[in-house]
Structure 1
Amino acid sequence: MLHIKVPQIDEMVEEAINKATSERKPQLISFVNEIDYTEAFTFLDRSQKVDQHRLFWKSADEDFTMAGVGAAHRMTAAHPNRFRKIESNWNELMNEAQVYDPYYEKGTGLVTLGGFSFDANQNNSTPWEGFPDCQMTVPAYLLTNKGSKSYLTTNLLIFEEDHKQQIIRQIEEQQHHLLHGARQELNLPKQTAWVETEAEKWKQSVKQATDDIKQGKLGKVVLARELRVKFDALVELAAIVEELCETQQNSYIFVFENGGDYFIGATPERLAKLENQKLVSTCLAGTIPRGKDKKEDHLLSQQLLNDPKNRQEHDFVVQMIREAVEACCYNVDIPSAPVVYPLRNLQHLYTPVTATLEQGYTLLDVVEKLHPTPALGGMPQKQSVDYIRKHETLNRGWYAGPVGWFDGHNNGEFAVAIRSALLQQDEASLFAGCGVVEDSDPDAEYEETAVKLRPMLSVLGGSV
């Protein structure tokens, strides 16, 4: 990756046009400016007039937010070897791109955001036609907020037939609109109807799974269900994102837009984070609601800590993540027992994992080894995913898949896309799942999924 010393946009564009002409292929240029602090929700709202490909990421444990629009470069890959193909494409891009980034802050310069479907072998595309098996996007414009500082990265794909002044004028117009344009009045959606998709059939699938587990066909499987919601008007994306950030402050907030369809969520579950070769992962499995007051909250947390079913489910995740992390890391540290991690509506069993990534491995290597964890697939991994594909009543698409970002400085983070919804015009599909073991009760598991649906459903104007 070439870091340009001269930060003049016109010189960068002219050089890229000349190189595109001589090499007969497009050239990607990237430059970063520190700007006055800009609110990410406002940037996201203004972006809709620039492109119907918007991206958003907010960290769960630090003051770090990214909002992107447009696509300077897209990377897609289909099974098999989709993670390795993306890695190869990214390395090629970094080697050829011209980058001016004097700040070297994480999430600036060449950054790509996106996700992977839960199951690369799922043949049914409905309702996920707008989302390929995997897609990582380098946005045309990326706002990165770290604490009180804002950075704007501009990424351009330059062709030999481009004209320098026209390109520069377009950049200036779009940047001005993104940073200074008017923001629309935003409203949360009003729900007019909702339909549970085959609720009784889903309960029966849980009963069948418990029977199959008792017969030794698998150890655990996670089964998800869908809730379909109808609204009185088109959904305003920035309003939902702002409300999620306000109400789900301990969660990762994400948005990926393709052609007007949005995949959006507020997930508490980190898959893996990498910064300066330090890897952090999370074991999050076992769920119970929050209490109405401190006393009830404490009683429920103790109930969760001492519940055999939830502890067993959590231990499945811990052991699998330990095995995956130890395969590519050293200095692995995993506490011997979980603690309770409270969210606004729920509390979970939580065990942090820290390690140092071995040289030669990347964040995508770790993500590939971890996905899907037993918290989203089951045990054993392959048998549980095969079982889900055969017995589950929906196509997960990107639900429960890895979503996140990484940059050219070897930083990045992926989360598990739960507590999420697919928004299409004036409708939405919401998803929630639960871990099924041999003593699972279908009605209790159904109620657990109802609790997990509440955070997203409440933002979308309803309750369940």
Structure 2
Amino acid sequence: MIETKGIKIEGVLQTALEQIQNNKTPTLVSITEKINKVDILSFFHKGKKLAKERSFWSNADQNVCFVGIGNAYTIKAEKNPYNIVKKEWSKLMERTILDNKYTYANTGPIAIGGFPFDEEKETCELWDGFEGSQFRIPEYMLTVDEHGCFLTINIWLDQQSDIENLAAILYDESSQLLDSAFIESENNQIVFEHEVNPHEWKNLVREVTNYIETYPVEKIVLARELQVELRNPCNITDVLHQLLTNQPNSYVFAWETDVACFIGASPERLVHVKDNQILSTCLAGTAPRGETSEEDIRIGQALLNDEKNREEHQIVVNMIRDSLQSCARNVDIPDVPIIYPLQNLQHLFTPVRAEIRFGCTLLEVVKKLHPTPALSGFPQKESLNFLRKHEKLERGWYGAPIGWFDSNFNGEFAVAIRSGLIKREKASLFAGCGIVKDSNPDMEYEETKIKFTPMLEALGG
């Protein structure tokens, strides 16, 4: 695209404008070109210099990456978000003008964003700017996958659009983003940490164990917050670099507004859909990594044989199997879990494969699966009711579905755990664990401390 010096951009926009003037309907125009290899972090970093909101997504295998700069169009929904997002996206795609000769699922207009953990709760001050569900179609989307590098430019046009001026701006900004010159890197440094009400949290664990003894609830997942302060305003690019380097088996994501950035490295896929094939994940049951390979194997084997963790894991397996019945067929689930190793932790892991039913999309599957017992508890309704009444933390997008989808509802969502909300030099980090009848408050507290580690390390702690 850069070699065309803006001629292609202007030509596509002019053709689109003529169509818009005939139809008298403003619309999205999306232009995709294959480009030379670009450094993803350089592209992301330069988005800040253009004073634009940024988005980032890398899957757990790090073979698909999206970097979004700016905001061409956003779909927002605070009530009934799954249905509204689906309808709004479908309507938008019907009138979107595409210039894309590539048929790959990861090119063309991509919506990237998230849903709230609990759509019934109002957003508090901490999560200002993250109200309800929000999905952004970036002005500039860099896609990097096995097919190469692609740049998609998305622009909203109406009958009064100045095509010549718009094309000049788009060409100039895309040139700046694609300049592969070295970027400066400022390392972050934590200078202060504050545990939010740890004694109150442990007391809530005890309250949950007593509650489970009395009421028909098997598990409730409690989350807590760790507040940190940095020496300087946070360099989000450096945080992404640290997460990509230190958490290679995780989904790395960032979604930035003008005042905050929600960022993390989640090991947990919620669901992936491509060509009507569903892949989901049961990830529950946790243990630390060993200091040596022998100790690591021993700890992993103990996790596989641990009755509490296996019970917790099976709850998730059963729930995902039941949830998929209405929107999937040919559901295939292995009988026993395996170990899923991460940098600081290891988990029990069971993959789930299925075929999506006719008439359903990725978003229906997300709605059915969220929240899994690994994030709220089991049964879902009873555990959510308890959290609404007793948990003091406002989860916002923490523990919620975050991900992307394309014009055909191919896409992927992870569960937004091992994450933090960053506002300049301050950050709130979140971690949780499943509480069952035999849970020990001190041990559960120590488990959450381990789960804070990925974000603490990424922030320079």
TM-score by length of 1: 0.96
Aligned partner of 1:251 in structure 2 is 250
Q: Which moved more, 1:168-177 or 1:18-27?
A: 18-27
Question: Which residue type is aligned with residue 77 of structure 2?
Answer: A
Shift of 1:146: 0.7
Aligned partner of 1:357 in structure 2 is 356
Q: Deviations over 1:350-381 (max 9, x none)?
A: 00000111111100000000000000001111
- 1:58 paired with 2:86, answer no
Shift of 1:349: 0.3
Q: Deviations over 1:155-182 (max 9, x none)?
A: 0101222211101101110110000165
Aligned partner of 1:369 in structure 2 is 368
Structure 2: give runs of 5+ residues left out of the alignment.
1-6
- Is contact 1:45-1:183 (8 Å) kept? no
Distance in 1, Cα, partners of 2:123 & 2:237? 30
Aligned partner of 1:127 in structure 2 is 126
Shift of 1:9: 2.8
Aligned partner of 1:3 in structure 2 is none
Distance in 2, Cα, partners of 1:182 & 1:233? 24
- Is contact 1:188-1:459 (8 Å) kept? no
Alignment of 1:19-418 (within 5 A): 19-79=19-79, 81-147=80-146, 149-180=148-179, 182-418=181-417
Shift of 1:183: 4.8
- Is contact 1:104-1:409 (8 Å) kept? no
Distance in 1, Cα, partners of 2:425 & 2:183? 18
Aligned partner of 2:3 in structure 1 is none
Distance in 1, Cα, partners of 2:202 & 2:94? 51
Shift of 1:19: 3.8
> Aligned residues, how many?
455
- Is contact 2:285-2:347 (8 Å) kept? yes
Distance in 2, Cα, partners of 1:438 & 1:409? 44
Q: Deviations over 1:57-80 (max 9, x none)?
A: 00103511110011111000012x
- Is contact 1:341-1:350 (8 Å) kept? yes
Question: Which residue type is aligned with residue 204 of structure 1?
Answer: N
Residues 183 and 26 of structure 1: CA distance in aligned 2, closer, same or farther (over 3 Å):
farther
Distance in 1, Cα, partners of 2:25 & 2:50? 25
Counterpart of 2:130 in 1: which secondary structure? Answer: coil
- Is contact 1:46-1:181 (8 Å) kept? no
Shift of 1:417: 0.1
Q: Deviations over 1:188-217 (max 9, x none)?
A: 211110100000000000100000001024
Aligned partner of 2:4 in structure 1 is none
Distance in 2, Cα, partners of 1:27 & 1:117? 28
- 1:445 paired with 2:444, answer yes
Aligned partner of 1:4 in structure 2 is none
Counterpart of 1:283 in 2: which secondary structure? Answer: strand
- Is contact 1:283-1:351 (8 Å) kept? yes
* RMSD, aligned α-carbons: 1.4
Question: Which residue type is aligned with residue 302 of structure 2?
Answer: Q
Question: Which residue type is aligned with residue 311 of structure 2?
Answer: Q
- Is contact 1:19-1:27 (8 Å) kept? no
Question: Which residue type is aligned with residue 69 of structure 1?
Answer: I
Residues 83 and 176 of structure 1: CA distance in aligned 2, closer, same or farther (over 3 Å):
same
Distance in 2, Cα, partners of 1:375 & 1:184? 39
Counterpart of 2:392 in 1: which secondary structure? Answer: coil
- Is contact 1:265-1:456 (8 Å) kept? yes
- Is contact 1:419-1:432 (8 Å) kept? yes
Counterpart of 1:132 in 2: which secondary structure? Answer: coil
Q: Deviations over 1:227-276 (max 9, x none)?
A: 00000101111111011111100000000001131000000000000111
Shift of 1:389: 1.6
Residues 321 and 335 of structure 1: CA distance in aligned 2, closer, same or farther (over 3 Å):
same
Aligned partner of 1:11 in structure 2 is 11
Distance in 1, Cα, partners of 2:326 & 2:121? 28
Shift of 1:23: 4.1
Counterpart of 1:397 in 2: which secondary structure? Answer: coil
Shift of 1:24: 4.1
Counterpart of 2:395 in 1: which secondary structure? Answer: coil
Distance in 1, Cα, partners of 2:209 & 2:449? 20
Question: Which residue type is aligned with residue 37 of structure 2?
Answer: Y
Counterpart of 1:344 in 2: which secondary structure? Answer: coil
- Is contact 1:224-1:432 (8 Å) kept? yes
Counterpart of 1:454 in 2: which secondary structure? Answer: helix
- Is contact 1:57-1:67 (8 Å) kept? yes
Counterpart of 2:298 in 1: which secondary structure? Answer: helix
Aligned partner of 1:420 in structure 2 is 419
- Is contact 1:398-1:417 (8 Å) kept? yes
Distance in 2, Cα, partners of 1:92 & 1:443? 51
Question: Which residue type is aligned with residue 38 of structure 2?
Answer: T
Distance in 1, Cα, partners of 2:29 & 2:147? 27
Question: Which residue type is aligned with residue 36 of structure 1?
Answer: N
Counterpart of 2:312 in 1: which secondary structure? Answer: helix
Question: Which residue type is aligned with residue 225 of structure 1?
Answer: R
Identity of matched residues, %: 41
Distance in 2, Cα, partners of 1:360 & 1:441? 45
- Is contact 1:115-1:136 (8 Å) kept? yes
TM-score by length of 2: 0.96
Question: Which residue type is aligned with residue 45 of structure 2?
Answer: D
Question: Which residue type is aligned with residue 57 of structure 2?
Answer: W
- Is contact 2:53-2:69 (8 Å) kept? yes
Q: Which moved more, 1:162-171 or 1:202-211?
A: 162-171
Question: Which residue type is aligned with residue 102 of structure 1?
Answer: K
Question: Which residue type is aligned with residue 160 of structure 1?
Answer: Q
